[in-house]
């Protein structure tokens, strides 16, 4: 199992040696909420490589989600009922823009259709936003294609890098510009201005 991400604080600590001399050491100290996890994942005295993962700002995160809400509120009448919530629309846009994970499942035999539908029902129970398509391409042969939007969470193991978040933001908002019928780049300029 790979190690889970832990947030550390680069800090200085004072250590008193056996002669009473105070030494200053710089250490990566896990934040309190990660202390138990760090104790399970690392051994005292072990050497570990540190990779810095740049995190996006709360401001850019809030701007993006406010822009999505602005776009959703301005959908044309003929498509506004296509998505029940802005979250459904955002996930659909991510998938359409290619920011998704795709898996294919093949079924063969006299009950291939039933197996494919059963898988589709299960996947829907796990990810209500997934795009699930079932294709019969030969007698008793069925392919299920599942596309799930990538997470845009700010933290966690599935979180996008800053660069991927920027790229997905631009792509999603440009697709949303097309949907609402405004010039490309409009939501990037003026969407979410109240975030």
Query: 39 with 97, same domain?
Result: no
In this structure, the answer to whether residues 45 and 13 fall within a common structural domain is yes
**195 within domain boundaries:** no
Domain that holds residue 29: 1-52
- Looking at residue 195, its pLDDT comes to 45
In a domain, 62, yes or no: yes
DSSP-assigned letters across all residues of 74-118: T--TTTGGG-SSHHHHHHHHHHHTT-EEEEEEEEESTTHHHHHHH
- The answer to whether residues 45 and 129 belong to one domain is no
Single out the residue in 31, 52, 73 at which a domain terminates.
52
Determine the length of the chain: 195
Q: What percent of the chain has pLDDT over 70?
A: 94
Residue 32: closest CA among 6, 13, 54 = 6
Is there a single domain that holds both residue 17 and residue 37?
yes
User: For residue 124, is it within any domain?
Assistant: yes
C-alpha distance from residue 114 to each of 78, 99, 111, 140 (Å)? 34, 30, 5, 10
| Residue 143 three-state SS | strand
User: Is 21 in the same domain as 76?
Assistant: no
31 and 65 both lie in a single domain:
no
Q: How many domains does the chain have?
A: 2
For 159-169, how does the pLDDT look when each residue is reduced to its tens digit (9 = 90+)? Answer: 788 889 999 99
- The secondary structure of residue 173, as a DSSP letter, is H
In a shared domain, residues 48 and 101: no
Q: What average pLDDT does the segment 13-40 reach?
A: 88
Tell which residue, 18, 27, 44, 63, has the closest CA to residue 192: 63
Residue 119 lies in a domain: yes
Is 183 a member of any domain?
A: yes
At 143-152, the pLDDT tens digits run 999 999 999 9
The residue from 52, 69, 88 where one domain ends is 52
pTM summary value: 0.70
Q: Which residues contact 58 (CB under 8 A, 6 or more apart)?
A: 154
131/22 Cα distance (integer angstroms)? 61
Q: Are 136 and 115 found together in one domain?
A: yes
Do 100 and 27 fall into the same domain? no
Residues 87, 40 share a domain: no
157 within some domain: yes
Which DSSP symbol is given to 151?
Answer: P
In a domain, 93, yes or no: yes
């Amino acid at each position: 199992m790979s190690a889970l991400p832990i947030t550390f604080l680069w800090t200085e600590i004072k250590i008193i040696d056996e002669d009473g001399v105070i030494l200053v050491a710089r250490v990566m100290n896990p934040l309190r909420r990660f202390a138990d996890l760090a104790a399970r994942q690392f051994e005292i005295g072990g050497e570990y490589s540190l990779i810095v993962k740049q995190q996006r700002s709360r401001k850019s995160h809030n701007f993006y989600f406010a822009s999505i809400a602005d776009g959703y509120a301005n959908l044309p009448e003929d498509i506004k009922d296509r998505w029940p919530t802005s979250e459904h629309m955002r996930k659909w846009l991510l998938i359409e823009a290619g920011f998704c994970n795709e898996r294919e499942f093949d079924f063969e035999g006299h009950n291939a259709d039933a197996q494919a539908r059963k898988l589709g029902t299960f996947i829907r129970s796990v990810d209500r936003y997934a795009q699930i398509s079932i294709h019969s391409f030969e007698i008793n042969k069925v392919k299920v294609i599942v596309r799930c939007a990538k997470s845009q969470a700010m933290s966690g193991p599935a979180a996008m890098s800053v660069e991927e978040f920027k790229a997905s933001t631009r792509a999603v908002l440009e697709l949303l510009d097309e949907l609402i019928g405004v010039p490309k780049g409009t939501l990037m300029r003026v969407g979410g201005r109240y975030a």
